Amino acid sequence: MSRELRAAFNGRRVLVTGGLGFIGSNLTRRLVEYGSDVTVIDALVPGYGGNLFNVDDVRERIHLIVDDVCDAAAIEACVEARDFVFNLVGQVSHIDSMSQPDIDLENNCHAPLAVLEACRRTNRAAHVVYSSTRQIYGRPERIPVDESHPCRPVDVNGIHKWAAEQYHRLYDEVYGITSAVLRLTNTYGPGVLVKHPRQGFIGWFLRKVVEGGEIEIMGDGSQVRDMNFVDDVVDALLLAAVTPAARGQIYNLGSPQPVALLEIARRLIAIAGSGSLRFVPFPPERKRIDVGSVSVDYARIRADLGWQPRIGLDEGLARSVRYYQEHLDRYLD
């Protein structure tokens, strides 16, 4: 796979929105490795995960623009003449979306729409890939959840991400802007936000074990999740950009062996050789939007694009722990 992707992206002009964030920066570094001409735009909004250290090793090999994609002039200049646009802009905190729905609307509807509008005005030939979330399904009616499952988001973030998916579908059908959508599940790895627990559990678990602290498990920890190491997610994004069959499609990402939160915590403690855990009740604001156990069917992307996870959970957790044992201080400011 890597040989074919390297050939597909070598010398190509690529834009990554939100490229200083967790997934965007890992994608950016891979594109640089493959020989792409990469532009990154990121507003570096405090608390959202953007971090200059995420691209420190490739900083001199990318075009970096610190600006808001909702600035029409800025995003049009970025989009112009790009072969591929990875539309990763947004914020991922479900709990924040409930307390600040207007801000979530701006980041998860207006921002990705602004990128599409820039493509419509200046570059309809760009291939666009949008990163969505399996959270749009809400509480599962059946498991595993496939792409035909009803979408009933339990929080504002899920509603806005679902709307952004529809923008991409519409702009493909009406304006001919080739697009594909990936519904990501729990992505983890080097660069994941660890500063606070509002953007998912895994970054916070990582920080706690690296610091020798205590992981708090809400409920009994039996809730099941799919886990994807970030390198595997990058593979999926790249494949979706260059595979003709992906046009206009929506794909789930998932894992072959979903795992309970309690088991993830125990594995992290064992790998790090530090940390502990305790059980706590769900805070009311989290209980209201908790979806329970979820596992995802990713048969469609496996059949169409040949994608499946390569990095096992223990290997991915070990890589993540080692990274933060070395670099935690770069992620706490």
- Return the closest-CA partner of residue 249 out of 180, 197, 298: 180
pTM of the entire predicted model = 0.97
Q: Is 55 in contact with 28 (CB distance < 8 Å)?
A: yes
Cis peptide before 197 (omega within 30 of 0): no
Q: Are 308 and 231 in contact (CB under 8 A)?
A: no
Q: How do the domains of the chain map onto residue ranges?
A: 2-189+228-255+295-310
Is pLDDT of 224 > 80?
yes
Q: What is the percentage of the chain residues whose pLDDT exceeds 90?
A: 91
For the domain made up of 2-189+228-255+295-310, give the CATH fold: Rossmann fold (3.40.50)
pLDDT digit string, tens, across residues 186-218: 999 999 999 988 888 999 999 999 999 999 999
Report the DSSP pairing between strands 127-133 and 186-188: unpaired
Residue among 168, 162, 42, 180 nearest 105 (CA): 162
Residues 150-182: tens digit of each pLDDT: 999 999 999 999 999 999 999 999 999 999 999
What mean pLDDT do residues 15-33 have? 98
Instruction: Evaluate whether 230 touches 191 at the Cβ level (below 8 Å).
Output: yes
Question: What tokens were used for 183?
Answer: 């519904």
Distance from C-alpha of 51 to C-alpha of 44, rounded to nearest angstrom:
7
Give residue 252's Cα distance to chain centre: 12
